Chains A and B, each alone.
Chain A
């Protein structure tokens, strides 16, 4: 087992026994389901909307060569510097060098999962820069030294009391009871940071090739401040974020809001078109867009799973995933949690190290059903399993499945031997859950069904004999 897999088993097992965590997540998501369904009901045809959204992403992802160049040209035409980064270190080095050249000391960052993916914050801190998260949820987990718990709701695992405690400890703030008071504490800290920051860093929800715009959607207004106040602006954009036309946002933005947060539209929707233009009085004087590959092209090269690049990071698949709900976001040990994380992490970070995530699924398909861009998530988990085993079978499993196949390919043997296996049932029942019980992985927590007096095959034979 890879070290990642050992860690996963350990963390997941711990969280499954944490009933407080289970109740907390169920309650948080219970509210989300109600709001999501209310919003979905406003669509004339949600399935048709899914098909349109998927079609827009399909077009983009299958013609990245065309749309990325178009995006880059359009951005450059208004004075934006575009940097193509092959991987995380290249992107982080570039951003650090931009900061150095512009004499930047302080950076304010709005939520970017792509930035999380390449540990951008840490890299810039190492380069001697101050980096502050401005998204409230991200700000809270940053104060706690934790990674985000969820793609969309980074601090969903925390209670109001825990947030209050964190603020008191880390910010020296007075005790606060209500969400409003807590938000005001964060706001007071952040307003100061916005004014002091020399550089803003944002992610991108979409990048429009047709017009050369970076689209950002948010509820707090922090991204708008982070991208308009500092004199230097950097947007880090995964290459799969490009969409062909501005019109595509007409379907993608509301669907992202509905699937992601149960909203009609998010509160603030911003299009960044470039740095301050001649004659303009405000806005950043420098604008850099970093287009990041970081092994997305290896996913692109896999026609079976290419549609995983459709992902708009709404988190809907996490919200319905019964595994996520029981093991929580941190157990995954990945930037992207839940079904989408289990699908893409093996591609982004190595199949053998991360294959356990694809096996840790009951393949229920709730993720695919919830996905607004129709990614075939649960089938991709099956394909990852197949690819992992084809590349490197598990040494003790291989003979078991070879034996299984040998046995099941011999109907006469099955007919004779299967009832013998059933005879062992009373014995298994007597030792159930004990250390030496061979079925302990099942019987540790669950009873086995009692063995019936006759199998169906025996019933069928007796019945035919009587006739």
Chain B
């Protein structure tokens, strides 16, 4: 299958490892990977801040970038939800509504694509560590992804997965919310970090790097040794 990658801007700039992991996994599974270099940002920061006209113009860049793609696979649950759930709303009643709906229909989040479309559970990865999984809210509630990452992690050799209390509680990132309301965002993050610490895990895994930026940023500031990794990076250890 020819798979077109959706690499959101901050993954591109700060967490390329997640994207590279995804390339390695999809190629290992025998697929052809394509990456339109004209993609930039999905427009979510403007969208969530109420600037829908600005968000729409950015989103049009993405409609252009993925016009010829057969299937689009994104490495972030949050940005994936932007394309899949919010683009149709953003373009509702606008000239490119049909294109937005078409892109939404052919877009998949990475773990959901592996498990539900490709029918893969075992990538052949091995990663000896005690880890816990954080459900990014957009992936969890907008896209309904809960079982898929766990199904994939279950097959990773040497990985012991322990569930944290309230794995489904938000880490407090929330995009621009994290800088508009830093105190509230930080308090939410502290609660999340405490749940992670309680498990005794040495590693926290998520399918959303933005959540991990928040969690790792707090752990680093607290001087905690816990490390975070994107699901794709863990699965690419084969």
Q: Interface on A for B, CB 8 Å cutoff?
A: 9, 12-13, 16-17, 22, 26, 322-323, 325-327, 359-366, 368-369, 382, 385-390, 393, 397-398, 401-402, 404-405, 408-409, 411, 414-415, 418-419, 421-422, 441-442, 444-449, 451-452, 454-461
Contact between B213 and A449 (Cβ–Cβ < 8 Å)?
yes
Contact between B186 and A446 (Cβ–Cβ < 8 Å)?
yes
A–B complex contacts, Cβ < 8 Å, 11 sampled:
A12-B184, A360-B180, A362-B137, A382-B48, A402-B54, A404-B41, A405-B55, A409-B57, A445-B186, A449-B213, A455-B12
Contact between B61 and A16 (Cβ–Cβ < 8 Å)?
no
Interface segment, B32-40, B111-119, B120-128, B196-204?
B32-40
Chain B neighbourhood of A405, CB < 8 A: 43, 46, 51, 54-55, 57-58
Closest CB in chain A relative to B15 CB, distance in Å: 7
Contact between B188 and A362 (Cβ–Cβ < 8 Å)?
yes
Chain B neighbourhood of A422, CB < 8 A: 13-14
Chain B neighbourhood of A363, CB < 8 A: 48, 137-138, 174-175, 177
Give the docked Cα–Cα distance between A365 and B48 (Å): 14
Give the docked Cα–Cα distance between A382 and B25 (Å): 35
Chain A neighbourhood of B9, CB < 8 A: 408, 414, 418
Chain A neighbourhood of B43, CB < 8 A: 405, 408
Closest CB in chain A relative to B2 CB, distance in Å: 16
How many residues of chain B get a CB closer than 8 Å to chain A's CBs? 66
Give the docked Cα–Cα distance between A366 and B172 (Å): 12
Contact between B48 and A385 (Cβ–Cβ < 8 Å)?
yes
Q: How many A-B contacts at CB < 8 Å in the complex?
A: 194
Contact between A322 and B14 (Cβ–Cβ < 8 Å)?
no
Closest CB in chain B relative to A342 CB, distance in Å: 12
Closest CB in chain B relative to A47 CB, distance in Å: 13
Contact between A22 and B191 (Cβ–Cβ < 8 Å)?
yes
* Partner among B20, B40, B169 whose Cβ is within 8 Å of the Cβ of A411: B40
Contact between A456 and B177 (Cβ–Cβ < 8 Å)?
no
Chain B neighbourhood of A9, CB < 8 A: 181
Contact between B12 and A364 (Cβ–Cβ < 8 Å)?
no
* Partner among A366, A409, A458 whose Cβ is within 8 Å of the Cβ of B168: A366
Which of chain B's residues 153-180 have a Cβ closer than 8 Å to chain A? 168-170, 172-175, 177-180
Give the docked Cα–Cα distance between A13 and B214 (Å): 18
Give the docked Cα–Cα distance between A326 and B142 (Å): 23
B151 within 8 A of A: no
B147 within 8 A of A: no
* Partner among B65, B141, B174, B182 whose Cβ is within 8 Å of the Cβ of A442: B182
